[in-house]
Amino acid sequence: MKMKVLNGAANVGLFLAHALALEIEAAERYTELADSMEAHNNVEVAKLFRDLSTYSAKHAEEVKQIAREFGALPKVAPWEFQWDATTESPEAAAFENAHYLMKPHHALKMALLSEHQGNNYYASVAAETKDPEVARLAREFAEEEAGHVALVRKWLERYPAPKDDWSDDPDPPNISD
Amino acid sequence: MDTHLTDDVVGPLPGDYKSDVKPIWCPGCGDYSVLAGITRAMATMGLERKDTVVVSGIGCSSRIPAYTSVYGYHTVHGRSLAVASGVKLARPELNVLIFGGDGDGFSIGGNHFLHACRRNVDMTYIVMDNQVYGMTKGQASPTTEADWCESKLTPEGPGVNPIQPVALALACGANFVARGFSNNPNEVARLIVEGVRHPGFSVIHILSPCVTFRPEQRNWKSTVHPYGREPTDDPNEAMRAVLEDDGFGLGIFLAGNRRPFQPESAATRSIAQIEEGFAV
Ligand SMILES: Cc1ncc(C[n+]2csc(CCOP(=O)(O)OP(=O)(O)O)c2C)c(N)n1
Ligand code: SF4
Ligand SMILES: [Mg+2]
């Protein structure tokens, strides 16, 4: 699907405001998911989310550095961002898809979707913007995201889909009988 | 790794309004996204942390004060609105936001809700409605459907119709009434910003799934829909429209123009004088 991203890519300031929100929210979300998995003793998935957050935080740092060099960015309210295809920024993994018994396979599927959406966003900006500097930056960021997509794909090979009963809990939170 | 900007490239960020306490909600709980909406709203308004208070009752949803970095008051079950009214009337310059659930707000706190709407103190009440008592392991609440049979306490369902928080808020005189859905934290942020900026008592009803005791609420994402009308300042018009709504319409129903309640006279006794009265 073609994204309507032009308003968010009209100039370098606006684009960086979008990129910064996207990267910070992606990194924070992985951290929050890792924390939440830790609280529920799902150690394996917590570690995966923690690793993903480290990668995302590195990219967030890079974008921050570019933003600092650019100077003050325009202030964009959360609901004014032009993500179009997603209600939140495209790389923030959806909280609502988490489950306390989820397996690494599920976590990586979530991450794959997020990284894909991030990659698509930047690729669409690069394709649609009229500003050559925005196009250059967007291509660069899209490449970085493509790297993350490839990485998550590779990890996924190690974690095939679990059996259908993965969410069965012998000691469920609710009394069911 | 620090993902917050320490310099002034974009001003305050949502992360600045999060505390170091890690939420213990079940993974997938809607309240995570509501928290994201809250901190985004606070950052958008650039609220001064020293001038902002969040007040809550008891329940999973009432844990917000622990997770935000502004002043917080995690009070007792059902009493958040009474405490918050006191805070705002004593310190009108503070931004007062109240958080809680459907049980906290409409069962034990139901009477406070009626009078908070009626009194119209300038503060914003965010109710995270999952149509269940989440914290106490899944009992029916006042917003649970009559035929929900999943609790051992009500094996044949509560058997009485749920109350409609939005209609109730309008009937009792709240000055700003809106509904959001946790899956869209950016829209939740917008409603909170609008509610805080609107004078008087603002009620923001947020549908926030309890994935543990109401797992079917994960499907709310295909049930919700835009309310589809412009906000009105006429409570009668808002009420007529809300009565036709199915409880899943999202948007602003009323942005009214009642004058907020604020006593004009200053306190007649100091805290020290009041405390004297309690000395034993
Ligand atoms: C005076 C008192 N009565 C009862 C309780 C037990 N209690 C704790 S939370 C709760 C219900 C919470 O439901 P809700 O407000 O919907 O919050 P949720 O956990 O669903 O977010 C009850 C009945 C209590 N803590 N204090
Ligand atoms: S019990 Fe329900 S409301 Fe409470 S944290 Fe779990 S999912 Fe959320
Ligand atoms: Mg509840």
Whether B11 is covered by a domain: the verdict is no
| B20: contact with A, CB 8 A cutoff | no
Q: Which residue's alpha carbon is nearest to atom 2 within ligand 2?
A: B210
Whether B154 is covered by a domain: the verdict is yes
State ipTM: 0.94
Q: Which residue's alpha carbon is nearest to atom 6 within ligand 2?
A: B26
CA angle A125, A129, A130 (to 5 degrees): 165
Q: How many domains does chain B have?
A: 1
Q: Which residue's alpha carbon is nearest to atom 11 within ligand 1?
A: B133
| Pocket lining: B138 vs ligand 2, CB cutoff 6 Å | no
Specify the CATH number for the domain of residue B78.
Answer: 3.40.50.970
Q: How far is the CA of A45 from the centre of ligand 2 (A)?
A: 20
Which of B4, B8, B10 best tests the A interface by mutation, with the highest count of A CBs <10 A?
B10
Whether B56 is covered by a domain: the verdict is yes
Residue A42 is encoded by which pair of tokens? 């799902």
- For the purposes of burial, counting CB atoms within 10 Å of the CB of B14, is it exposed (0-12), middle (13-18) or buried (19 or more)? buried
> Which domains are seen in chain A, by residue range?
12-162 (1.20.1260.10)
Predicted confidence pLDDT, tens digits, chain B (280 residues)? 333 444 456 678 999 999 999 999 999 999 999 999 999 999 999 999 999 999 999 999 999 999 999 999 999 999 999 999 999 999 999 999 999 999 999 999 999 999 999 999 999 999 999 999 999 999 999 999 999 999 999 999 999 999 999 999 999 999 999 999 999 999 999 999 999 999 999 999 999 999 999 999 999 999 999 999 999 999 999 999 999 999 999 999 999 999 999 887 777 888 888 899 888 7
Beta bridge partners of B205: B127, B179
DSSP class of residue A165 equals G
State the Cα–Cα distance between residues B104 and B79, nearest whole angstrom: 8
Full domain range(s) for residue B91: 17-278
Contacts of A69 in chain B (CB under 8 A): none
Whether B39 is covered by a domain: the verdict is yes
- Contact A31/B3, CB-based, under 8 Å? yes
Ligand showing the shortest atom-to-Cα distance for residue B110: 1
For residue B88, the surrounding DSSP H or E stretch is helix B80-90
Percent of chain B as helix, strand, coil, to the nearest 5? 40, 15, 45
Q: Are B30 and B184 in contact (CB under 8 A)?
A: no
Whether B187 is covered by a domain: the verdict is yes
Whether B104 is covered by a domain: the verdict is yes
Entry pTM: 0.94
Of B44, B212, B218, the CB nearest to A78: B44
- For the purposes of burial, counting CB atoms within 10 Å of the CB of B138, is it exposed (0-12), middle (13-18) or buried (19 or more)? buried
Minimal CA separation from B218 to chain A, in Å: 8
